Amino acid sequence: MSHDPSPPSRPSACPALSRIVAARDGGLCRIKLPGGELRAEQALAIAEAVDAHASGVIEVTNRANLQLRGVRAGHEAALSERLLRAGLGPQVALRQALSGTQDQVESVPIMPITAAAADDVRNLMISPAAGRDAQASYDTRPLAAAILSLLQSESRLTALSPKFALLLDGGERLAMLDHPHDIWLSAMPAYGVEPWFAFGLAGHPSTRHRCALAAVRPAQVPALIRALLHTFLDLARPDDTRMRHLLAAYSHDAILEQVSTRVDFPLRRGADVDAWRRGDADPALRFGAHRQRTGNLWHVGGQPSLGRIDAATLRGLAQLAIEHGNGRVNMTPWQSVLLPDVAKPYVPHTENGLDALGLIRDAAHPLAGLVACAGSTGCAKSCADTKADALHLSQHLPAGVEVHLSGCIRSCAAAHCAPYTLLAVEPGRYDLYRRPADPDQETAYTRAPEIDTSADAARRFGRRLAAHLTIEQAAQLLREAARSHSHA
């Protein structure tokens, strides 16, 4: 049974460009970047806005966006306006910000939804090396632009939760595959010259125990996504904000049957789609210099300590992009940055520039595998200063250990379940969890985030190995686990 075809936008406490959310360290503003890409002039505009209106702390998020922390009281509207004028909002927001400049306004389509609502639905992830990765089967950038245009242009889609997320995977070697998405699509390279896109719901591209539901041609992808989104809104109950909630009430086949009535092409199903599995990715390619698929061009990447930079660092990255790259800085879902299209002679200069800015270029660096939320200095819900504790932990860990320090069960800093999680229980004390050996055994966390029980934490993070540890005790257990894994 269908619900109201034009449900109202869902209220949200998530930060956005024009919705500054209060945090312990001031206002929090989130800037969504299409494909994670930031033009150098936009980076410079953000740096100026931070200097004028915020504390100076800039975070790269786990969905390749940026967050500005410490927005000063009374400066919220001025900050949003500056960012909108730099073209950092949705298309409708750009048109509104440019009103009065007729030549520019006419080039931006008029859309019947508000800037805040259009901003909320721009949750599409692609590889930071899309169009450049030698391993890729398809350049997803044009498709991503079409999908983002769809998301921003239909008023009914503003009823989606700001957390409702999509993945468009071109088969890149540098790809984030661990994050669960409400809808995922992944290029299947084995079927003719033009790949098909396999797709699935509430998870990530096919692994050993999970199959794609069906596949479509690239040109059919936007129509498929539109059909899936409207089907979700038709079937969802008021409290169903994510695709996993819908799947608790409807089977995959029932959802696909609804979708098939909304498209004018068949969904490809069968043994070949069932048998397809997405190849492995290599997140370590975000570090250092790697040759791109065409020309004598390279991308050079580095990771700021625990995902944070300041305005001066952002200016430095913009300058490197202008001098040695294509004038773009790509954010990644590992809270790092990538400078694409660097000519081979300029690679050493770019690497030296990242070093001078304090970014990590070595995957073996102790901080390379650590993720930490804002912690008690920035968030009232956090039980511990996770940033400071992560820096302390890094001094005692061997290379290659991936740990997520979370101040509470909400797990804001990591969209996926890390190999090890330290869940704060009081200042300086953590419970240590290890995710299942088979990631397909993970169960999505669906309880209300305010309910913090050991059962909920186990569902979210895996098996609890030890409780109420100091950082030194946790480091000792992690070192032993790393040795045991290396000898397995």
CB-neighbour burial class of residue 331 (10 A; exposed 0-12, middle 13-18, buried 19+): buried
pLDDT tens per residue, range 359-380: 999 999 999 999 999 999 999 9
pTM: 0.90
pLDDT tens per residue, range 225-258: 999 999 999 999 999 999 999 999 999 999 999 9
Domains of the chain (ranges plus CATH)? 106-281 (3.30.413.10), 283-356 (3.30.70.3340), 370-486 (3.30.413.10)
pLDDT at 64 exceeding the cut of 80: yes
Which is nearest to 27 in space by CA: 65, 66, 73?
A: 73
For CA atoms 84, 89, 93, 94, the dihedral sign is: positive
DSSP-assigned states of every residue in 295-362: TTEEEEEEB-GGGEE-HHHHHHHHHHHHHHSSSEEEE-TTS-EEEEEEEGGGHHHHHHHHHHTT-B--
Residue carrying structure tokens 């209220």: 11
pLDDT tens per residue, range 381-417: 999 999 999 999 999 998 889 999 999 999 999 888 9
pLDDT at 159 exceeding the cut of 80: yes
Beta bridge partners of 463: 434
